[in-house]
């Protein structure tokens, strides 16, 4: 018998129930698959450690059927073999079922490299969010505001091609899709491979896929999604790491806006960036990088966003070092103060 779904606090702010079913036994897995039969579009999100990058591992895959029932299914990958998960993988590989994701790049990479599963028919709402900025008339000032603080160098901020990708919870706020305030619990990402999962982790995993559902409905209502072009672009976006997992420093949150252009019939006017593996037009590159990318494919030639990404990573690394030094200094000061108090010396 299928256990009763669990309700979470977020339900209080929702007009529809928010029920979560954790599938961690053969029986709950079979029942969930049965209930998912016949869905045509489904929200999807993964949780795990270092997802999609070197050394990554998948912990929970969340699915939420759109418009069928109001349950979110959490599949616990630590309790099943890939053979037992095959019926679930059939859903992920089914061309007839639209998978809605938010930044599916790491999910695709983890599934194909970790489980030999090829995610098909994907719509990435992170791209729809970028398109919505253009449709909402958000221009240069908004773009600069988003890029500020991520360490992006000034020359890249000035280049209109460079966009900062949004994060899921930021988009939920920006598009005001929640009728009430968002619950603030954070999951500890270092603990996704430990069991049992805490209620906070379960809620966290279920909440992201609920947000995907809400954003999808909002984006459809506002015509931000062009079903003629976005599914193909999304597939190109998420499959960039089909050949191998990216290294930890190879991922980044910048997108050359020209990636969203229609490139059909324009062979030769686009070339592949060595670092992000995207096909981009000439204006997404500095001149010398374009020449290298065209003349020696695979040997070098990075787009402007990837050049800026290297600077962002260095900036974040320096910021992290400064933070660690401050923490260390703080600890030493505190230790000194306690010693003075113990010794009865003046401060």
Residue 192 or 307: the one with the smaller Cβ distance to Zn ion is 307
Shortest separation between residue 255's beta carbon and Zn ion, angstroms:
9
156-215 residues in contact with Zn ion (CB under 5 A) are none
Among residues 142, 111, 108, the alpha carbon closest in space to that of 124 is found at 108
DSSP 8-state secondary structure symbol assigned to residue 195: S
Residue 205 or 258: the one with the smaller Cβ distance to Zn ion is 258
218-237 residues in contact with Zn ion (CB under 5 A) are none
Residue 11 or 310: the one with the smaller Cβ distance to Zn ion is 310
Q: In which order are the strands placed within the sheet that holds 57-65?
A: 6-7, 19-23, 71-76, 57-65, 41-49, 98-101, 122-124
Applying CB under 5 A, among 20, 303, 308, 312 the residue interacting with Zn ion is 303
Answer whether the bond into residue 196 is a cis peptide, omega within 30°.
yes
Shortest separation between residue 152's beta carbon and Zn ion, angstroms:
14
Shortest separation between residue 17's beta carbon and Zn ion, angstroms:
43
Phi, psi values for residue 118, rounded to 5°: -105, 110
Q: Binding residues for Zn ion, how many (CB under 5 A)?
A: 5
* CA distance linking residue 284 with residue 258, whole number of Å: 7
Residue 147 or 275: the one with the smaller Cβ distance to Zn ion is 275
* CA distance linking residue 97 with residue 220, whole number of Å: 17
Residue 177 or 310: the one with the smaller Cβ distance to Zn ion is 310
CA distances from 250 to 100, 169, 309 (A): 24, 23, 9
Shortest separation between residue 280's beta carbon and Zn ion, angstroms:
7
Residue 122 or 276: the one with the smaller Cβ distance to Zn ion is 276
The reply on whether position 312 binds Zn ion by CB under 5 A is no
Shortest separation between residue 50's beta carbon and Zn ion, angstroms:
21
The reply on whether position 306 binds Zn ion by CB under 5 A is yes
Residue 62 or 280: the one with the smaller Cβ distance to Zn ion is 280
DSSP 8-state secondary structure symbol assigned to residue 303: B
Handedness of CA 50, 56, 57, 58 (dihedral sign): positive
Shortest separation between residue 281's beta carbon and Zn ion, angstroms:
12
Shortest separation between residue 305's beta carbon and Zn ion, angstroms:
5
Give the range of 32-40, 117-125, 196-204, 296-304 binding Zn ion by CB under 5 A. Answer: 296-304
Query: Which residues are bridge partners to 323 per DSSP?
Result: none
Q: Provide the H-helix boundaries in the chain.
A: 26-36, 86-93, 105-115, 125-135, 140-147, 154-158, 168-174, 199-221, 230-238, 287-295, 304-343
72-131 residues in contact with Zn ion (CB under 5 A) are none
Phi, psi values for residue 306, rounded to 5°: -70, -35
- Here's the x/- map for Zn ion, 247-276, by CB under 5 A: it reads as --------------------------x-xx
Task: State how beta strands 279-281 and 270-272 pair.
Answer: antiparallel
Helix axis angle for 26-36 and 86-93, nearest 10°, is 30
Shortest separation between residue 269's beta carbon and Zn ion, angstroms:
16
Residue 72 or 305: the one with the smaller Cβ distance to Zn ion is 305
Residue 193 or 316: the one with the smaller Cβ distance to Zn ion is 316
Give residue for tokens 């809400």. Answer: 214
Shortest separation between residue 177's beta carbon and Zn ion, angstroms:
31
Tell me which residues touch Zn ion (CB under 5 A): 273, 275-276, 303, 306
């Amino acid at each position: 018998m299928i256990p009763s779904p669990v309700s979470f606090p977020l339900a209080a702010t929702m007009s529809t129930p928010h029920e979560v079913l954790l599938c961690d036994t053969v029986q709950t897995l079979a029942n969930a698959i049965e209930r998912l039969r016949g869905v045509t579009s489904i929200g999807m999100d993964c949780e795990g450690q270092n997802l999609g990058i070197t050394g990554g591992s998948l912990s929970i895959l969340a699915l939420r059927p759109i418009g069928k029932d109001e349950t979110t299914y959490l599949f616990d990958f630590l309790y099943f073999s890939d053979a037992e998960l095959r019926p679930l993988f059939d859903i992920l590989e089914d061309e007839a079922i639209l998978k809605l994701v938010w930044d599916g790049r790491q999910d695709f990479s983890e599934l194909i490299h970790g489980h030999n599963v090829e995610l098909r028919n994907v719509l990435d709402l992170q791209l729809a969010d970028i398109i919505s900025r253009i449709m909402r008339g958000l221009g240069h000032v908004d773009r600069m505001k988003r890029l500020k603080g991520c360490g992006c160098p000034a020359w890249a901020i000035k280049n209109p091609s460079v966009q900062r990708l949004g994060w899921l919870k930021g988009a939920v706020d920006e598009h005001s899709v929640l009728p009430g305030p968002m619950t603030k619990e954070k999951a500890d990402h270092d603990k996704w491979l430990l069991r049992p999962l805490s209620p906070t982790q379960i809620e966290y995993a279920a909440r992201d896929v609920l947000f995907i559902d809400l954003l999808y409905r909002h984006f459809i209502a506002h015509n931000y999604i062009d079903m003629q072009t976005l599914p193909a672009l999304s597939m190109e976006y998420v499959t960039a790491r089909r050949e191998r997992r990216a290294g930890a420093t190879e991922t980044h949150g910048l997108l050359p806006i020209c990636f969203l252009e229609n490139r059909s019939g324009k062979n030769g006017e686009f070339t592949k960036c060595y670092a992000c593996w995207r096909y981009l037009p000439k204006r997404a590159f500095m001149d010398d990088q374009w020449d290298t990318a065209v003349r020696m494919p695979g040997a070098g030639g990075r787009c402007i966003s990837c050049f800026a990404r290297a600077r962002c990573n260095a900036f974040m690394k320096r910021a992290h070092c400064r933070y660690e030094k401050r923490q260390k200094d703080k600890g030493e000061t505190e230790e000194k103060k306690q010693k003075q108090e113990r010794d009865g010396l003046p401060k």
